[in-house]
Structures are given as C-alpha cells and as structure tokens.
Amino acid sequence: MATHRIRFWRPAAWGKFQRALAARLPCPRPGSCCPSLSPSREGIMKFHATPLTGACLVELEKRGDERGFFARMFCEREFGEAGWPISVVQLNNSVTSKAGTLRGFHYQLAPAAEIKLIRCVRGALYDVVLDLRPDSPSYGKWFGAELSAENRSMMYVPRGCAHAFLTLADETEVVYLVSEAYSPQNERGVRFDDPRFGVDWPLQPTEMSVKDQSWPDFDPDFHGVERLRGLL
C-alpha cells in the first residue's frame, strides 16, 4: 500500500531518539517528494496540502523584532477561506512524560466525527493521520510528519480520519483544537501496528495504554467505516 510522510530533521540538537530517527535512509529524491506541499495562499498562516484528501500541515508565519516574535496559531475565518474549515468547541492539552510513547489511533464516528488541529508546544513527536473514509480517494492511506516546539507546525486532521502520535522527546506537550466534544459511544480506534495499513513508525513504541494496544484487527463493521461515508 502506498504511504507518504514528511520529516523535519534537526539532528544536531537531538537526543538518542531523535538521532535514531535521523539515521534512517534519506529520501531517494530530495526536493521532489510530495510536490503538492507548497503554500496555498499568502497570509499570516501557510497551508500545505498533503497526499490525504482534506488533511494539511499548517505553518505559522512569524513576525519578529527585538522582543521576540508573534504568530497567529488559529483564525476560524482564515482557515475557512483557505479551504480547511473548523469551528472549535473544545481545547485539549496532553503531556507525555517519556519519549517513545504512542497515543492512538483515535477517531469518532458520525454524528460525532471530529476535525482536529494538533500543535506540539514542547518536545517533539511523529504525527500520523490515517484515512478511514470509504469514499475518499486516499482511503486506507496514511501520512506522517514531525511536529515539534521548534518547527511550530500543526496538523489538520479531517473528519473520518484517525489520528495518532509517537513522542520523540521526554515531556512532550500537545494542544488539540477539536470541532466536537468527546463522545464515548462513538469512539473507535485502530491499533498502531495493524497490518491492513502498515504504518512505518520511525521508532518502535515503548509505552502505550492497554486500550490502544487492544484494538482488534481492522474490520469495516467494527470500525464503523460506513458511518464515515459522506464526510468529505
């Protein structure tokens, strides 16, 4: 199955987990991968399309002076005008103490299917989006990118896509903007190593919850695929 990923390497400042990540084989065609990842518009935020339908990376446009810098992290109007609409109803915050910890994959079924906007504010993580929408051109594919406090990039996760991340540094802190409140009855998950998708994690996870380890192999009925139709 085709896979797609982006990495933002900073090897000089990294610890053992990041050095192990950077030691992986480089892209065989540097500068040619994912040609669609070019800014879609001028403005205080830059939106970069990904190979997954409706998912994007958001780059903050910093305005600096001798005091430091200012950057807009979210603007509902600007997201909508750029083609990535989201109305935020909940703001979540997580801190993960150890590098090598995996959270996910998580998603919610309709009518509680949610958009997520993910920002790493401390540390670093490898963030992955998995497309579970049966009517999507990128159904069954995944996309990964590094988010860190240094690069300040954000991941826009559309409705009907599952989300997970693997921490690359201790004490990694994440802020999530979400479009729907948590709905336990509509919650589902995909196991990080499900052979149906073959996600290529940069490191073997060393910590995760029992719940995340226990999701069954992908089954369209159990995982509610038909309830993710019509979300494009």
- pLDDT score of 2 more than 60: no
- CA 113-117-118 angle, 5° bins: 120
Token look-up 């989006």 returns 129
Domain 86-228 is in which class? mainly beta
* Model confidence band, residue 61 (pLDDT cutoffs 50, 70, 90): confident
pLDDT (tens digit per residue) in 65-95: 788 777 778 888 888 888 888 889 999 999 9
pLDDT (tens digit per residue) in 105-151: 999 999 999 999 999 999 999 999 999 999 999 999 999 999 999 99
Q: Global pTM?
A: 0.80
- Judge contact between 131 and 157, C-beta under 8 A: no
Token pair, residue 190, equals 């995909």
What is the model's pLDDT at position 64? 74
* Model confidence band, residue 24 (pLDDT cutoffs 50, 70, 90): very low
Instruction: Supply the residues annotated as catalytic.
Output: 106, 176
What is the model's pLDDT at position 125? 99
